Amino acid sequence: MIFDFFRRKPIFFYNTLVKSKERFRHPKRKAVRLYHCGPTVYDNAHIGNLRSYVFSDTLRRALEINGYRTEQVINITDVGHLSSDADEGEDKMTKSLARSGKTLTLDNMYALGTFYMNAFIKDLEALNILMPHFMPRASEHIAEDIELISRLEKKGFIYKTEHGVYFDTSKDKDYGKLGGIDVDVKVMHSRLQSTEKKASRDFAVWKFSKDAIGWESPWGKGYPGWHIECSVMAMHYLGKTIDIHTGGQDHIPIHHNNEIAQSESATGRTFAKIWMHNAFLTISDGKMSKSAGNFLTLDELEENGVSPLGYRMWLLQASYRSPMNLSWEALSSAEDSYTKLLNFVSALPSPHGTPDKKIVGDFIRDVNDDLNTAKAISKLWATIHDTSLAPDLKHATILEMDKVLGLKLREAREILRARASRVPADVIALAEEREEARKNKNWQHSDVLRIAIEQKGYTVEDRADGYKLQKNPQCRLF
């Protein structure tokens, strides 16, 4: 249920384009069009990548609880993304095929993309991220890429070299406006580049294939540039102007500025009204990345005792624009908090009645302040400890909040049952025997049993209400 008084609350988002928060204004009768840069499906996504999709999901949920309809696109890049975000290195999909010993064919590339796309969808489901309305694949929009490049050619924005077709950024007087990129410093004109680009900031819209695979085009056989793919998919599903474009902050200098340049040059219209970007996850102050080899997958987190939704809760405890440094202490603390939350909600009677208007109204006011989920979660805990609320009304109020937080609190009992079934029976038996020894003050036997539990890869924590078993972290990173 969405109440009218929620809908009247103003919403403010930080817009990277203007470097400040601004009020979001949009006709309620029209859907809010959201585009989020999706993964390049050459490998499993790491948890740093996945922060970006928790952020975009929170944005969508915030808009919907305020009464807006949304149309969301998360694209799948399965061709054209080189090993750097500019125009250098090998195609990431090609490298992945070679690594797996597969023959370089379009069919094998598509199959590889399908495998990792399905793994990505599994990660989204584990994090309780709402599935986008559209999840297009770049390889299925080649004809539209060629059409957009042809429009740019007719307007004089591209030129051809022996390596590919490039966008001439000197023709775009606003190039670099996103994030205030200092073009004079960033760009150095050079005639010595192997690509024969007119300027180093110029970017490929079509790359000629050195291999035998690719698609035919008016300029030669090859494949589209990564940037042109996103422009095409965004405009195909959402129109020439979209409302909010999101992604990681690493996309600002190159990828998103290139999207703006080619899209607005082709259409003459604003490409995206609002640009929003999430910060990195770091490990020992270094950015988490596949190329650096310092990354964790969601499955690895779970193997080490941190659930996907415990990880989601950890992310929500900070602003999406703030870097977060990963540590087992922080993750374990968030997992403990999530478990306490599940236990509390599972003990409440069935939700009845209307959620408390003041509590939920204050909660949404925090969410509407540039997705301030940290303050919103503090409102959730305050509600849990509020003794003035009837338990069934408290349950209804908490579930209303969870429409934004996405922590699956409605399924709290089922989640706890599933968790209990995943701990090996022999470990549970040792823990129960130890609990009995402690009740009998047989401390020596209790210590022996604790060591036996640790040898099986678990720690046992004594609590006033019993004990808690947790798998020992075995991560190679921290």
Q: Which residues are annotated as a binding site for ATP?
A: 290
- Helix (H) or strand (E) holding 469, with range, is strand 466-471
Contact by Cβ (8 Å): 208, 163: yes
C-alpha 206/C-alpha 215 separation (Å) is: 10
Among the listed residues 112, 99, 103, 88, the one whose alpha carbon sits nearest the alpha carbon of residue 211: 103
Written as one string, the DSSP assignment of 387-405 is TTS-HHHHHHHHHHHHHHH
Among the listed residues 35, 11, 30, the one whose alpha carbon sits nearest the alpha carbon of residue 277: 35
Handedness of CA 368, 374, 379, 384 (dihedral sign): positive
Q: What is the amino acid identity at position 20?
A: S
C-alpha 449/C-alpha 430 separation (Å) is: 6
| Residue positions forming the annotated binding site for Zn(2+) | 37, 230, 255, 259
Report residue 117 as tokens: 């796309």
Neighbouring residues of 32: CB distance < 8 A, sequence distance ≥ 6: 26, 63, 68, 69, 70, 71, 243, 244
C-alpha 5/C-alpha 90 separation (Å) is: 53
Report residue 87 as tokens: 């125009």
C-alpha 459/C-alpha 434 separation (Å) is: 12
Handedness of CA 224, 227, 233, 236 (dihedral sign): negative
Contact by Cβ (8 Å): 138, 75: yes
At 431, phi and psi to the nearest 5? -65, -40
Residue 176, by phi and psi: left (phi above 0), alpha (psi -120 to 50) or beta? left
Neighbouring residues of 72: CB distance < 8 A, sequence distance ≥ 6: 34, 35, 36, 56, 60, 130, 132, 133, 134
| Residue positions forming the annotated binding site | 37, 230, 255, 259, 290
Written as one string, the DSSP assignment of 73-86 is EE-BB-S--BSSSS
Residue whose token pair is 């038996």: 429
Contact by Cβ (8 Å): 379, 362: yes
C-alpha 476/C-alpha 126 separation (Å) is: 23
C-alpha 315/C-alpha 319 separation (Å) is: 8
